[in-house]
Chains A and B, each alone.
Chain A
Amino acid sequence: MFFKFLFYLISAGIIGLTIVTAFSPNIIRSVFSLLGVMIGVACLYGIMGSQYLAVIQIMIYVGGIMVLFIFAVMFTSKIQDVQVTNRSLGKVQAGILSLAVFLMLAFVILYYPFPQETMGEHQSVERLGKVISTDYLPFLLGIGVILLASLVGAITIARPKKGED
């Protein structure tokens, strides 16, 4: 019962912060509410019992990606006069489209006959570590190589050229 209450609290926080992210004209406020959404998603992982993913979510999303976003916003944007809507597609049409997507997904979720919920013992860090280091080891190594290559590429792209600045 306590978990259920906690789940509803976190879901309400996530939904509210997502609405702030979508509608706020100030992009700094959007970034910080997105940070709140990421922390809420980490709490959902914790509720679902996969603590390792919660820690990874906090470390990578909150500690890495959002800090990168804040740096990029402060480098580039004129923070106050951001145009919220773009010119080719207005807010109303985009709202109708995304509402249609949500209703479609909700219809499928509510009426699909899911199999019997098992609710086994929670996914411990031990199980996940065993699977990662045996079955999924090539994927993990490949991800490491991709991450290294993309970070080197990002530094190369963002570095000022010679004779500039």
Chain B
Amino acid sequence: MMDITVREMLLVAAFLFSSGIFIILTRQNAIAILMGVELLLNAVNINFVAFDRFLFDRVDGNVAALINIMLAAAEVAVALAIVICIFRGIRTAETDRLDSLRG
């Protein structure tokens, strides 16, 4: 049988999570920040499936990951629509330039 342990799988997910945080902290473009959020969601999904597979022998975590993926689809659709709407107004998607409420 295959001999991958749960720790290796969780380490890959932890790397994805921390690099998602790095992308969110460093990028200035709103679309790139959304890419960081997608990396975070994928890391969490890997954790769910790995706990299911290696520790508990159930499928509840798979259902959680499925719901997570569908919510990510909804979130990305709305967020990219908002980014396009902002771009149509002020011709940029850089988050530092979104200061029109500052007065």
Find out whether the CB atom of B26 lies under 8 angstroms from the CB atom of A50: no
Pick the contact of A155 from B6, B29, B49, B81 — CB < 8 Å?
A: B81
Partner of B59, one of A91, A131, A146: A131
Contacts of B83 in A (CB 8 A): 72, 76
Q: Are B59 and A117 closer than 8 Å at their CB atoms?
A: no
B94 to chain A, nearest CB (A): 7
- Say yes or no: B84 contacts A37, CB within 8 Å: no
Interface pair B78/A86, CB less than 8 Å apart: no
List of B residues within 8 angstroms of A140 by Cβ: 67
A123 contacts which chain B residues (CB < 8 A)? 52-53, 59, 62
Q: Give, as a whole number of angstroms, the nearest-CB distance from B36 to chain A.
A: 8
How many chain A residues touch the partner (CB < 8 A)?
A: 90
How far apart sit A73 and B80, CA to CA, in the bound complex (Å)? Answer: 9
How many chain B residues have a CB neighbour from A under 8 Å? 72
Contact B42 A19 (CB under 8 A): no
- Please classify the interface of chain A as helix (H, G, I), strand (E, B), loop, or mixed, using the class held by over half of its residues: helix
Q: Is the CB of B80 within 8 A of A69?
A: yes
Question: What CA separation (Å) do A118 and B1 show in the bound complex?
Answer: 12
List residues of A whose CB falls within 8 A of some B CB: 1, 3-4, 7, 11, 14-15, 18-19, 21-22, 27, 30-31, 34, 37-38, 41, 44-45, 47-50, 52-53, 56-57, 60-61, 64-65, 68-69, 71-73, 75-77, 82-89, 91, 93-95, 97-99, 101-102, 105-106, 109-110, 114-115, 117-123, 127-128, 131-132, 136, 139-140, 143, 146-147, 150-151, 153-155, 157-158, 160, 164-165
19 contacts between A and B (CB under 8 A): A18-B39, A21-B35, A37-B16, A75-B84, A76-B31, A76-B87, A86-B27, A86-B96, A89-B25, A98-B25, A105-B17, A109-B7, A119-B1, A121-B57, A131-B59, A132-B63, A153-B81, A154-B78, A158-B81
Known pairs A83-B28, A86-B26, A157-B81. 20 more at Cβ < 8 A? A27-B32, A34-B35, A38-B42, A44-B46, A50-B62, A53-B66, A61-B69, A77-B93, A82-B32, A84-B28, A85-B28, A115-B55, A118-B56, A118-B57, A119-B57, A123-B59, A128-B59, A143-B71, A153-B78, A164-B88
Chain B residues at the A interface, C-beta cutoff of 8 Å: 1-12, 14-19, 21-23, 25-29, 31-32, 34-35, 38-39, 42, 45-46, 49-50, 52-57, 59-60, 62-63, 65-67, 69-78, 80-85, 87-88, 93-96
